[in-house]
Amino acid sequence: MRRVQTQSDIRAILAARGLSPKHRFGQNFLVDHNLLRKLVDASGIGEGSLVVEIGPGTGTMSEEILARGAELVAIELDRDLAAHLREHFAANPRFTLVEGDCLDGKRALNTDALAVLGGRPFTLVANLPYQAASPVMAICATLPQCRGQFVTIQREVGDRLRAQPHSGEYGPLTIMVQAFCEVEQIAVLPPGCFWPPPEVTSAMLALRPRTDPVIPHDQAEQFGEFVHTLFSKRRKQLGAILGRARAWPEGIDPSARPESLAVTDLVRLWHAAGAVHHPGTNR
């Protein structure tokens, strides 16, 4: 079996450059080799696959992805680790490094990375920095060229992604992801699977595109605005938010609250409210 970077290797790589893990970048390196391989296995990538990795760190997972024959576009914010990655993978033509933030604002991926991808289908495989996880997954879920997301994230975020109506975790992130993806938990990771160990438990998730997304991809932004407006007033009744003097879809009670509606019901309500340009405004 091919050798994977150990915790000692990662420490040595950082020490050689006078570095240590940076909390502000969420640098908790995955050092459990079995789980790392389990995540890459779940992604199904192989020869000819195009993969995006966010926060590659010292390149542990990058090496595993490249060993499968995939082309890798890695996005790294830390300039010190970017210098290491550029040098470490200099001889591999299937490795492209994009240095910078993985996000361009809150609603788009890094523009340089998108230019490298060129609209080609890709798979996200990453030990995601906790602070970037939610927006990255919401964005990738709505991209038709994203073939799936196989990620390690904070368990609390994973619970939100898999949440059902009537639960406290159910909200806009849940809805936007589930509108386009089937969400599966692959594994739960205690802090000891990382170095340095984080203060929270993590989870590995697979987000696979639905064969029947509940809305077209090009309507995701409008639907997202509708959902965010409803859930900004989640304790209020739907009728108080949207106005009761309207036609209500069958089975949706105006006295219900947003968090009680399944994703498909929210889509039906959105369609029914189509005559309203902004939720909460009657015309």
How confident is the model over 195-222, as pLDDT tens digits?
A: 999 999 999 999 999 999 999 999 999 9
Q: What angle do CA 219, 205, 92 make, to 5 degrees?
A: 90
CATH number at residue 227: 1.10.8.100
161 and 25 share a domain? yes
24 and 80 share a domain? yes
Provide the residue range defining the domain that includes 228.
217-272
pTM, full prediction: 0.93
How confident is the model over 240-278, as pLDDT tens digits?
A: 999 988 889 999 999 999 999 999 999 999 999 874 444
Residue 117 contacts by C-beta under 8 Å, 6 or more apart in sequence?
A: 50, 52, 73, 145
Nearest residue to 201 via CA among 154, 169, 150, 134:
154
CATH number at residue 157: 3.40.50.150
61 and 201 share a domain? yes
132 and 224 share a domain? no
Q: What is the pLDDT of residue 274?
A: 78
